[in-house]
Amino acid sequence: MHISTLLLLAVFFGALWPLYLWHRSQKSLAPAVFGGLLLGVIFGALVQLSRDWGVRPAELLPWIDLVGQGYVKLLYLLVMPLVLVSILGAVVKMHRAESLGKISFSVLAVLLGTTAVAALIGVMMAELFGLTAAGLVEGSREAARAEVLGERIGRVEGLSLPEILLTFIPENIFLDLTGARDTSVIAVVIFAVLLGLAALAVRRESPEHGDAIERFVSSAQVWIMKLVRLVMAFTPYGVMALVAALIAESSWADIINLFSFVLASFVAIALMFVVHGVLLLINGISPLRYFAGVWPVLVFAFSSRSSAATIPLNVETQIEKLGTSPTIANFSASFGATIGQNGCAGIYPAMLAVMVAVPLGIDVMDPMWLLTLVAVVVVSSFGIAGVGGGATFAALVVLPTMGLPVTIAALLISVEPLIDMARTALNVNGAMTAGTLTQHWLGGKESTTEKLVQPG
């Protein structure tokens, strides 16, 4: 390892110590997360500038990933146990099974409704910025990505709605608990609900056994949440490493080359954040107080590019900061990780569809074509993988369904990581918005969202 690389690596690990001291001095996680974000940006820029000094990113970045990706792996470790135990506990304590239907309907209505709006915004931004697939250059990385897409398209091409819904049903719960399938999170949710409903039936037939089940599940919940909080304590350091690695690896030349697409994507994402804020506002909930509570979650989603990995932090923040009930928080976070992702399943495939359709002479403003596109986007948003690359999976469903080629998804690989960060933050915010609104609508007298409600 080059001496300059060693020195820079020492700087990185040395910066973790003042971040640790800052973290210990704060009562909440948010300031430390912000500190980690700033340090990550500074260190990533330093790596970019130090390439001429003999620094070798290929030797440096694996050590940074040891912190960043190590933290992400710990979060993935939490996802399935947290979803299983939390949903099971919510159902066991609910006593009334019909409440599940109301919660599920409300959460899905917000997720899918906002995804439809996101698709329309994606179309408008593509038209406004004059985006087109014509003239995009295919380099070696793009060609390699095209080969991968060619292999993956066989998994999703021609899937009907019943076939998509069938993938949600667990066949082997032990397989789904490993997260082996794109829809494993939803499968575990369904299994937990069924297990919870069975517990309710046991309580009706044998109250003694029902109480024993509830005590066991409550203990498991306390245990798992203690584990979640232990892992959450590493968030500032994980964010620092993830952001540093991303900036160190970014190619500014590629970003400039596709600047119009990058800018249009960020404008569309920003508009959807505004839509979320407006939905909260018209329901009497203060957007400023809401975003003040959730921004650490958005920072982690931005840096990790994984909706699934953000589930534990999402659930804890909804419960602790937004006053959402554990039942609603777990449903919205779990559903939002794989269904109705506003950024990956809404904006992105809609923009790509327009960019491909325009050179083919299709009138993208034709009401029937537009309505068909929005409907396809909403349906295809079921089961989108909540990890980096979920947007590509969505495009592989939408574009062939609309009769459009999929190679454009490979041609945009250069700027994908940068845009995917913002898309993931939007996906997660959509899930938390769905949970907050559902709590407001269904919480009744037990609702604790009064801390977010506009005064007066």
Q: What is the pLDDT of residue 265?
A: 93
Phi-psi region of 18 (alpha: psi -120 to 50; beta: other; left: phi over 0): alpha
Q: Tell me which of 55 and 199 has the higher pLDDT.
A: 199
Phi, psi of 294, deg, nearest 5:
-105, -10
Residue 451 neighbours by CB under 8 Å, 6+ apart: 289, 322, 323
Distance CA 334, CA 107 (A): 10
Q: Is the per-residue pLDDT at 288 higher than 70?
A: yes
Q: What is the pLDDT of residue 448?
A: 44
Q: What is the pLDDT of residue 412?
A: 64
Q: What is the pLDDT of residue 96?
A: 57
Q: What is the pLDDT of residue 407?
A: 64
**Across 158-180, average pLDDT:** 78
Q: What is the pLDDT of residue 280?
A: 97
Q: What is the pLDDT of residue 259?
A: 79
Phi-psi region of 444 (alpha: psi -120 to 50; beta: other; left: phi over 0): left
H-helix or E-strand containing 11?
helix 3-25
Q: What is the pLDDT of residue 257?
A: 58
End-to-end CA distance of the chain: 63
Q: What is the pLDDT of residues 362-374, one digit of tens each?
A: 888 989 899 989 9
**Across 261-290, average pLDDT:** 95
CB 14 within 8 A of CB 217: no
Q: What is the pLDDT of residue 275?
A: 97
Phi, psi of 309, deg, nearest 5:
-65, -20
H-helix or E-strand containing 426?
helix 416-442
Mean pLDDT estimate for the chain:
80
**Across 384-392, average pLDDT:** 58
Percent helix / strand / coil, the chain, rounded to 5: 80, 0, 20
Q: Is the per-residue pLDDT at 141 higher than 50?
A: no
**Across 310-339, average pLDDT:** 88
Say what the pTM is.
0.71
With CA atoms as reference, report the closest residue to 301 among 263, 273, 324: 273
Q: What is the pLDDT of residue 118?
A: 96
Distance CA 442, CA 304 (A): 32
| Residue 69 burial (C-beta neighbours within 10 Å; 0-12, 13-18, 19+) | middle
CB 318 within 8 A of CB 435: yes
Domain ranges of the chain: 3-451
Q: Is the per-residue pLDDT at 153 higher than 60?
A: no
- Tally Cβ neighbours within 10 Å of residue 126: 26
Q: What is the pLDDT of residue 415?
A: 63
Q: Is the per-residue pLDDT at 332 higher than 70?
A: yes
**Across 410-425, average pLDDT:** 74
Q: What is the pLDDT of residue 111?
A: 94
Q: What is the pLDDT of residue 104?
A: 85
| Residue 445 burial (C-beta neighbours within 10 Å; 0-12, 13-18, 19+) | exposed
Residue 448 neighbours by CB under 8 Å, 6+ apart: 323, 324, 325, 439
Read off the pLDDT band of 282 (50, 70, 90): very high
Question: Which fold, 3-451?
Answer: Proton glutamate symport protein (1.10.3860)
Read off the pLDDT band of 270 (50, 70, 90): very high
Q: What is the pLDDT of residue 426?
A: 96
What Cα–Cα distance (Å) separates residue 172 from each residue in 187, 188, 193, 217, 290? 9, 10, 15, 22, 38
What Cα–Cα distance (Å) separates residue 227 from each residue in 219, 221, 403? 13, 10, 47
Q: What is the pLDDT of residue 125?
A: 95
Residue 411 neighbours by CB under 8 Å, 6+ apart: 133, 136, 137, 138, 142
Distance CA 328, CA 100 (A): 9
Dihedral sign from CA coordinates of 12, 14, 15, 21: positive
**Across 317-323, average pLDDT:** 92
